[in-house]
Amino acid sequence: MFLLDTCTLLWLAADQRKLSETAKRQIDNHPDSLFVSAISAFEIALKYRQRKLGLPQPPMDWFTEIMEFHGIRELPVTSSIAILSTQLPPMHNDPADRMIIATAVLNTLTIITCDELIAQYQQVKVIW
């Protein structure tokens, strides 16, 4: 089972050429095993509001449509995820990425990401 990080979700939706061949293959071969953390919706909406990300429709509509189209399931940010994210080694300073890592740890998911900092965490398996 796989957890897409925020960039992977954006590239899956808008420009699959940015995905690695391994990432594409895993996504294509496991359509019923794809998850996204709710924190990715927060990141996308925040970047949209700050005008750092263009979307063809408002973030809520875009996120819902992409999730349904690709059959991706959303995982909530629970108190366990929030707390674990603060207990991870300090290699990554981005709180959203730390929550993605914690989500993967607590749900035994492999993260699909090109983020080299996430790949440094021994607690999770990363593919790209």
DSSP string, 18-87: GS-HHHHHHHHH-TTSEEEEHHHHHHHHHHHHTTSS--SS-HHHHHHHHHHHHTPEEE---HHHHHHHHH
Give the domain ranges of the chain. 2-127
Flag residues of the chain having pLDDT under 70: none
Span 2-127: which CATH code? 3.40.50.1010
Give me the pLDDT at residue 110, please: 98
What pTM was estimated for this model as a whole?
0.95
